[in-house]
């Protein structure tokens, strides 16, 4: 093998190993007893595969209930984010207005705001308007933090859509909404899919806001299930590992089946921007 191939493939191999190893370690972690885990051998196989850890994680971690809550919150967040960000991106990219650049700058500033700095003011606001400890108190900030990156991705793509397509439709009497839904949106499906997947992944396992705004047990999302296996005196690490595997599995499946759409959408937005 030539030196050039070694220099190229070596870092890629290291990257693959560093990304795959934590998942492999977590899988082994979930099939061990607490005593085996505490011995500290990270890659040793368990004496016997403890599949009962998954049964315990499923029942004691309230997996189905928390899974449903996560699905509801995440899917509504994705839908609202796509609806708002596609329209904003179309307006910013296609309409010739002096406000286009200031509006785009405002969304870019939104990317730089840390979530932690918004927790206290949001909690006060939600308490005053009566939506604290509801799924709406999660959906609203999730959407707000997802829209800026969505606008950045899609507006770059929309800027390069030929104006001739819309001009011909306008001459035929099409309204702006008709041009948006019939011309721009179908063309922008690659970045739309990218935004959909990235929004799903970023909000699926979010814990800080969920822990701050939710107190009712029946409203909690998947990350809260990890608390079911930790007490003041002991922790069931095997069941905890099994719960983590089941929690991250939907995200892995979504990314595995749709990874090509993420790549194509990001590349399209980068080239057209």
**CATH code, domain with 72:** 1.10.3720.10
Please report the pLDDT score of residue 54 as a whole number: 92
The residue to which tokens 């928390």 are assigned:
66
Residue 13 lies in a domain: no
Tell me, yes or no, whether 43 lies in a domain.
Answer: yes
Verify that 121 and 170 share a domain, yes or no: yes
For residue 11, being part of any structural domain is answered with no
Token pair 């010739």: residue? 96
**Which of 125, 137, 145, 113 lies closest to 212 in space, CA to CA?**
137
The model's pTM: 0.81
pLDDT of residue 164: 77
For residue 2, is it within any domain? no
User: Is the domain of 42 the same as that of 160?
Assistant: no
- Torsion, Cα of 74, 195, 260, 185 (10° steps): 120
What is the distance between the alpha carbons of residues 47 and 56, in angstroms, rounded to a whole number?
A: 19
Whether residue 243 sits in one domain with residue 207: no
Count of structural domains, the chain? 2
- For residue 7, tell me if it sits in a domain: no
Same domain assignment for residues 82 and 32: no
Q: Is residue 16 part of a domain?
A: no
**Residue 226 contacts by C-beta under 8 Å, 6 or more apart in sequence?**
61, 240, 243, 244
Q: Examine the domain organization and report whether 33 and 103 are in the same domain.
A: no
Long-range contacts, 251-260 (Cβ 8 Å, 24+) = 251/200, 251/201, 251/204, 251/205, 252/23, 254/197, 254/200, 254/201, 255/197, 255/201, 258/193, 258/197
Answer yes or no: do 192 and 105 share one domain. Answer: yes
One domain for residues 177 and 143: yes
Specify whether 126 is located in the same domain as 250: no
Q: What is the pLDDT of residue 259?
A: 64
Please give the structure tokens belonging to residue 81.
């984010």
240 and 228 in one domain? Answer: no
Q: Are residues 167 and 179 in the same domain?
A: yes
pLDDT tens for the chain, 273 residues: list them. 567 777 777 887 887 778 777 888 888 888 888 788 777 666 777 788 888 989 998 988 889 999 999 999 999 999 999 999 999 888 888 877 777 788 888 888 888 888 888 999 999 999 999 999 999 999 999 999 999 999 988 888 888 877 777 777 778 777 878 888 888 888 888 888 888 888 998 898 888 999 899 989 899 999 888 888 877 677 888 888 899 899 888 888 877 776 666 555 555 544 444
**Cα–Cα separations (whole angstroms), residue 19 to 9, 26, 126, 162, 179:** 15, 12, 38, 40, 43
DSSP strand E in the chain: where?
A: none
Cβ-proximal residues to 265 (8 Å cutoff; 6+ apart), any chain: 153, 157, 190, 191, 192, 193, 194, 195
Domain that holds residue 260: 21-61+236-272
Residues 240 and 214 in one domain: no
Report yes or no: 243 and 61 within 8 Å, Cβ to Cβ.
yes
Tokens of 76: 């509504």
Together in a domain, 228 and 251: no
Grouping H, G, I as helix, E, B as strand and the rest as coil, residue 245 is helix
Enter the DSSP assignment of 159: T
Domain annotation covers residue 135: yes
């Amino acid at each position: 093998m030539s030196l050039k191939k070694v220099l190229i493939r070596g870092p890629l191999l290291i990257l693959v190993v560093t990304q795959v190893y934590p998942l492999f370690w977590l899988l082994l972690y979930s099939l061990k007893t607490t005593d085996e885990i505490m011995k500290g051998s990270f890659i040793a196989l368990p004496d016997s595969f403890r599949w009962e850890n998954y049964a315990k994680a499923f029942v004691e971690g309230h997996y189905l209930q928390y899974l449903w809550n996560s699905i509801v919150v995440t899917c509504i967040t994705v839908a609202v984010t796509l609806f708002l960000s596609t329209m904003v991106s179309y307006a910013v990219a296609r309409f010739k207005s002096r406000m286009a650049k200031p509006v785009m700058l405002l969304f870019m500033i939104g990317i730089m705001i840390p979530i932690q700095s918004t927790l206290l003011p949001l909690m006060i606001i939600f308490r005053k308007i009566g939506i604290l400890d509801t799924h709406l108190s999660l959906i609203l900030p999730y959407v707000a933090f997802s829209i800026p990156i969505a606008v950045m991705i899609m507006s770059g793509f929309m800027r390069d859509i030929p104006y001739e397509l819309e001009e011909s439709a306008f001459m035929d009497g099409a309204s702006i909404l008709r041009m948006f839904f019939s011309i721009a949106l179908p063309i922008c499906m690659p970045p739309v899919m990218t935004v959909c997947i990235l929004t799903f992944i970023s909000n699926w396992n979010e814990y800080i806001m969920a822990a701050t705004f939710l107190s009712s047990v029946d409203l909690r999302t998947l990350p809260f299930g990890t608390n079911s296996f930790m007490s003041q005196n002991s922790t069931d690490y095997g069941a905890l590992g099994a719960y983590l595997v089941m929690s991250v599995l939907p995200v892995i499946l979504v990314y595995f089946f749709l990874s090509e759409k993420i790549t194509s959408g990001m590349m399209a937005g980068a080239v057209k921007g």
